[in-house]
Amino acid sequence: MKRLAKRFGAAVSAAAMVFTVPVLAAPAAEALPDGLALTPPMGFNNWNTTGCKIDEQMIRDMADIFVDKGLKAAGYQYVNVDDCWAEKERNAEGKLEGNKLTFPSGMKALGDYIHSKGLKFGIYTSAGTVTCAKTMPGGLDHEDVDAQTFADWGVDYLKYDNCNNQGRPALERYTKMRDALKKTGRQIVYSLCEWGDNKPWEWGKDVGHLWRTTGDIKDNWSSMLNIVKKNAPLAPYGGPGHWNDPDMLEIGNGGMSTVEYESHMSLWSIMAAPLLIGSDLRKVSKENFEVLLNQEVIAIDQDAKGVQGAVLSQKDGHWVFAKPLAGGDVAVALFNENTTSATIGTNVAALGLPRSAGYSVRDLWKHKTYQSAGQISALVPAHGTAMFRIKAGGDWLRHEPLVGAGLEFAATASGVPGDLVPAGKPFEATVSVTNHARLPVLSPKVALTAPAGWKIEQLSRPRKWILGADESATGRWRITPPAGTEGTVTALHSETQYDTLGFGRVKQSGDSPVTVPAAPPSGSAYASDLRWYAEKNGYGNIERDMSNGSIPDKDGKPLTINGVRYAKGLGAHAPSELVFYTGGRCTAFSTDVGIDDEREPANLRGSATFEVHTDGKKKVDSGLLTYLDPAAHLTADITGAQYVKLVVTDGGDGNSYDRGDWAGAQFTCK
């Protein structure tokens, strides 16, 4: 709830003060673990879908849906009420009370109803004087009375936020509530919603059962991806009874595609994250319910071994996560953060599996088992994740061969999507079949068709008719979009087929979108007025004519570098990349660059380097700039360039407050 705290101006920034306070170990006599949360908690929290617009009927409805829609059976059990549930003042006894308008039956009655469904009841407060929304008292210096009140109501889970904390050390505040909860004698799962400001993963194991590692998630791709990048390196700190918490699931809120929500569910599960649904279950589509109810993926999250999956590799936005499981299996997530499909893979040796004649590979989204000789790969769609459970030996020979098949585009330049295809200019694509199994694959065939009017020429055909383990059959084509297609999005259609021994002929087909960029501008044009075709950004989205702000779109401030304001430009945040199509028709790019003044007063930091690339080669850079420096002026000769990429690095010291502005950025074209 960190974002809301900023919006209301309610949070007292304690980071600078807390970082100077030694982080001591929690007192051993009260320290966890205590046998709770041996697997990551699963349930619901209303905040991301309702904010303060919450009442007891909505929470009762969620409990009913848990039972009726199979969520309870799938393992979801906590029904949690977030901020704004209480009266604005404590009662005469100094106790919290439910809001009489929105929770007229009282919080104990609500808890009783949830318990009657065989579920568990969760509640919220903040380790400050008031909560983040400033609608109710916080728990600071009222830990004992609040903990006992919660226990009397039958609370099973407490989310303890970090707003309005008066600058007091996080360890002190969170430990006091831990001790108060333990005094009640009731088993209550304790969630430290500290936002990762004071590295709770280093001390939270003795204090709580889970701790937030980041600020609040938002229902968009950029937010989800940024959180993955912050939470993934913390794998060594998670385990039974002490979990890294990258915040709620946004699945069902509507801001991402089904493929992106599947990635969200896969990545949270491979990272052994708490699975707390943050959407209004009364409005969630059948398709999104299927994502939430994928019990094979949930089983990875809830595995008894309790290991957070680690990143085996990450290059150019292609990720491989691996998570060892109880019983010796290994779960793998192949994640593609980019906007173009790509083949991503690993092998059983890298996964730490023992040598075997063969391996069973269970696809957790297709719900189908394959055999492999040891290589694991998939053609992963844009923003998609392929997830597998791999077992050495066993009945692997009974299963169909694992085959990677589909369409890929040849790369044009670093950072430029292969599916960006200018009119009148040929590009290449391949369709391939790759066998990863012991059993051979026979008679592979590949085909590719383009939209009517497009020129397509096959350059090579598959030459192998029998594919052994890790052998491929590939066709290659040259395709040219015709004039008149500028500014359109269409698709290429690929087909693959092959024979398998004992499993018949397998046919697959699919459509891969391609974008024909609009014609470059004529004369002079501000970059913020043009369309860009690829974007990566370290925090939220790149903004037009305002600073980067936070996660939501259009939440920045006027572009300002060391006190100088700019009406036009781009607000980015390191690490960042932005690709424009110039089609050989532009001659120059000019801009002022620097660290934007948008930061909290206590956070005097921010450094970055700004680079201009043409067709994959760096043309000019700013050198290192810090928040103390005035804007630097850059000009680049981009004559003949097809693509211009604007890059902001993090300066080599992490990317905190590295809001980098391309101020007055302008192209000069013919």
- Residue 277, strand partner residues: 44, 249
E strand spans, 290-383 = 310-315, 318-324, 330-336, 342-347, 359-363, 368-372, 375-380
46 Cα distance to chain centroid: 20
**Are 114 and 153 spatial neighbours (Cβ–Cβ below 8 Å)?**
no
Measured distance CA(605)–CA(199) in Å, rounded: 18
Q: Give the per-residue pLDDT at 600.
A: 78
Residue 10 DSSP symbol = -
Backbone angles phi, psi at 349, to 5 degrees: -65, -45
Q: Give the per-residue pLDDT at 308.
A: 98
Q: To which residue do tokens 């990551």 refer? A: 40
pLDDT digits (tens, 9 = 90+) for 458-505: 999 999 999 999 999 999 999 999 999 999 999 999 999 999 999 999
- Residue 322, strand partner residues: 310, 332
Measured distance CA(565)–CA(557) in Å, rounded: 10
Alpha helices in 271-320 (DSSP H): 286-292, 295-301
> For this structure, is 615 an active site residue?
no
Q: Which segments in the chain show pLDDT lower than 70? A: 1-31
Q: Give the per-residue pLDDT at 390.
A: 98
Concatenate the DSSP letters of all residues of 101-134 into one string: TT-TT-HHHHHHHHHHTT-EEEEEEESSSB-TTS
Cα–Cα distances in Å, from 568 out to 522, 526, 528, 529, 661?
18, 7, 7, 9, 10
Tokens linked to 95: 């106790």
Q: Give the per-residue pLDDT at 652.
A: 83
Let me know how many helices (H) and strands (E) the chain has, helices first. 13, 40
Residue 141 DSSP symbol = T
Tokens linked to 365: 């989204």
- Out of 156, 216, 280, 419, which one is annotated catalytic? 216
Q: Which of 194, 97, 198 has the alpha carbon at shortest distance from 152?
A: 97
Residues 6+ apart with CB under 8 A from 123: 80, 81, 85, 107, 150, 153, 155, 157, 158, 159
Q: Give the per-residue pLDDT at 222.
A: 86
Q: Which of 208, 228, 207, 249 has the alpha carbon at shortest distance from 80?
A: 249
Residues 6+ apart with CB under 8 A from 655: 538, 539, 573, 574, 575
Cα–Cα distances in Å, from 340 out to 419, 514, 656?
6, 9, 29
> For this structure, is 216 an active site residue?
yes
- Out of 161, 329, 592, 596, which one is annotated catalytic? 161
Cα–Cα distances in Å, from 11 out to 240, 273, 321?
32, 26, 36
**Other CB atoms within 10 A of residue 602 CB:** 12
Measured distance CA(661)–CA(288) in Å, rounded: 37
Q: Give the per-residue pLDDT at 351.
A: 97
Question: Taking phi first (over 0 means left), then psi (-120 to 50 degrees means alpha), and beta for anything else, what does residue 584 get?
Answer: left
pLDDT digits (tens, 9 = 90+) for 389-434: 999 999 999 999 999 999 999 878 888 999 999 999 999 999 999 9
How do the residues of the chain divide into helix, strand and coil, expressed in percent and rounded to 5? 20, 35, 45
